[in-house]
Structure 1
Amino acid sequence: MIKEIYSSNAEKLFRKCAICPRKCNVNRMDGEMGYCGQTAHLTAARAYLHAWEEPCISGDNGSGTVFFSGCNMRCVFCQNESIASGKIAKKITPERLAEIFLELREQKASNINLVTPTHFVPIIILALEKAHDQGLDIPVVYNTSAYENVDTLKMLEGLVDIYLPDCKYYSDTLAIRYSNAPMYFDIAMDAIEEMLRQVGEPEFAKACGNGHNKRINAVQYNALMEESDDDYTGPLMTRGVIVRHLMLPGQLQDSKAVISKLIERFGNKIYISIMNQFTPCGNLESYPELLSGIKASEYDKLLDYSIDCGIENGFFQGEGTDSESFIPAFDYRGL
């Protein structure tokens, strides 16, 4: 049955899977599981309007977010461990995924937000093509760990408008200890380079009344946000790259290295979202250094350092984000 609904190219990619840098080479079409914990059957945990992304992603209505099951990173501190491990997973077809995209659009979603999509890229491409043929006309966000193959990303050119990758670690020691992801930083930086090549520098749409929008650039967007109240969501991003960095307990120096390298390589062509929302989740008995959480003083030092490095396009987080209340209920709603 699965052969009948997938394209020949998708089937080929799943038969000897090398979609991500793990290059498991397993036959996911015949039911073998890759490192991601998934076969070639598309699975997801929830689809809904998500309000807790960056302001230019969520907007007033929320980001139309699809949480896919499985993950090619499997970080030990994962907030979404129940879906990353594949414990919560509902099978859906590419046709149904296309319908979900259109349903989210009808709910006035700011965009379509694909969370942890890497291991399902061949199927997601089919669904996006079907949805576009049926009138999908809002931006598509690719929300990823950045542990990506450049060749896989190239398959998405023209289908993704906004890339929302992580840049988790500079140190390979940390990448291996917490994510079993050797060469993570180099792989992530090359992936971000490809993302930027595809979508270019940030663009936003500012509502001008009468249903019309005005395109503005990063400088104009930043000026609007500086003058705004805290509750102002501002214009929506229509194209661009936002790189997220989640600060880890006790790893100020590694975070500084990540930020400085991102600024050095990409400058103001990207946004950097510096996050303090680390929440100790799962079984961390073997990682006691992660149990303390983030100290406000350490986060402030990182923000000061980022400013000293010349960051202009950035998002910072306030207090109260390190809470499990920010973790969605993965209950299959919207699927």
Structure 2
Amino acid sequence: MKECTLCPRECGVDRSQGQVGVCRSTDEMMVARAALHFWEEPCISGEEGSGTVFFSGCSLGCVYCQNHNIAKGLAGRKITIERMSDIFIELQEKGANNINLVTPSHYVPQIIQAIDMAKRKGLDLPIVYNTSGYERVETIRLLQGYVDIYLPDLKYQSGQISKKYSNAENYFSYASEAIGEMVRQVGTPIFNERGIMTKGVIVRHLTLPGYLQDSKNLVKYLYQTYRHKIYISIMNQYTPMSGLEQYPELNRRIEEAEYEELVDYAIELGVEQGFIQEGETASESFIPEFNGEGV
């Protein structure tokens, strides 16, 4: 925390003294919501829900962020590592299928301590690491033995697109290396008798309007690189948020024909281990209230 290099931004700020970098976070954990969540992939949420902890702050900062109020640190409460461990236990007692850590990269050292504490208190659920994919592989290595399921995004292949919308021209190089480390750690997906994933990697791709070819490139890369070692989740839930005046091309939802073309392309490649979204998924119903519930 004294010279933070947890993420690819490598800001080098002293977070222990209240300084903040791109993620807008000091060394004190900020959490906006901790509750059962039912809108993840079926093998993550199940019928009981995923015990989801939404952290405030983000090192990527996409202009179209669906959770922009917490990504910018505008919502959330400061909690201790001890309190975080208790939250994990409370979610387990509510019947959660797993503990799902959303945008956790900038708190990895604290999370590791909280998991250790919670396990001493009886935590025995799988840990899900739910990330933008913009990770340093050195940080992911710290999580070996702590994380059971990795749920990374793979947003862009083109550096031009990632620079325009996330100010991260190097996104793909970092994300692809991080995903490789995730697969190395947890191996081929494992499910329990109820079809709930207990170990493995699901790579998510949120389809953006107008960038079908980049999406195809990513799906092809993932399939040719990993085959049966991962699941691919192709999402159509992109929802235009406020503040996109400079990016009018993003101020619309995905057309049904665009999404169907991408799904058909994945099937033609041979992708069988995957998830797609159907119906009216592109709505703000996927965005919960960040009101401090469960914190």
Q: How does 1:294-333 map to 2 (within 5 A)?
A: 294-333=254-293
Decide which of 30, 35, 57 is 2:44's aligned counterpart. Answer: 57
Rounded to whole Å, the distance in 2 between the matches of 1:89 and 1:60 is 27
Q: Which residue of 1 aligns with 2:162?
A: 175
**Could you tell me how far apart the structure 1 residues matched to 2:107 and 2:286 are?**
25
- Consecutive aligned runs of 4 or more in structure 1 exceeding 4 Å deviation: none
Query: Do the aligned residues in 1 keep the contact of 2:76 with 2:290 (CA within 8 Å)?
Result: no
Deviation at 1:332, TM superposition (A): 0.2
The offset of 1:310, in angstroms, is: 1.0
Q: For 2:103, which of 107, 113, 116 is the aligned residue? A: 116
Give the match's secondary structure for 1:96. helix
TM-score by length of 2: 0.99
Note the C-alpha offset of 1:102: 0.2
Pairing 1:194-273 to 2, within 5 Å after superposition: 194-207=181-194, 235-273=195-233
Residue of structure 2 equivalent to 1:152 = 139
Q: Distance in 1 between matches of 2:129 and 2:38?
A: 16
Percent identity, aligned pairs only, is 56
Deviations 1:176-204, CA, capped at 9 Å, x for gaps? 11011121111111000000111000000
2:148 to 140, 151, 161: 161
State which structure, 1 or 2, has the greater radius of gyration over its C-alpha atoms. 1
Distance in 2 separating the partners of 1:156 and 1:326: 28
Measure the CA separation in 2 of the matches of 1:22 and 1:48. Answer: 30
2:54 aligned to which of 67, 76, 84: 67
User: 3-state SS of the aligned residue for 2:88?
Assistant: helix
Aligned partners of 2:199, 2:285: CA distance in 1, in Å? 29
2:81–2:110: 8 Å Cα contact kept in structure 1? yes
**Structure 1 unaligned residues grouped into runs of 5+:** 1-13, 208-234
The structural deviation recorded for 1:89 is 2.0
Shift of 1:312: 1.4
2:85 is matched with 98
Q: Give me the whole-angstrom Cα distance separating, in 2, the residues matched to 1:195 and 1:317.
A: 24
Match of 1:276 in 2: 236
CA shift digits 1:246-287 (9 cap, x unpaired): 000011001000100111111110000000000001300000
Q: How many residues align?
A: 295
Letter matched to residue 227 of structure 2: G
Measured in 2, the distance between the counterparts of 1:273 and 1:238 equals 17
Q: Distance in 2 between matches of 1:71 and 1:317?
A: 25
The alignment's TM-score, normalised by the length of structure 1, stands at 0.87
Q: CA RMSD in A?
A: 0.6
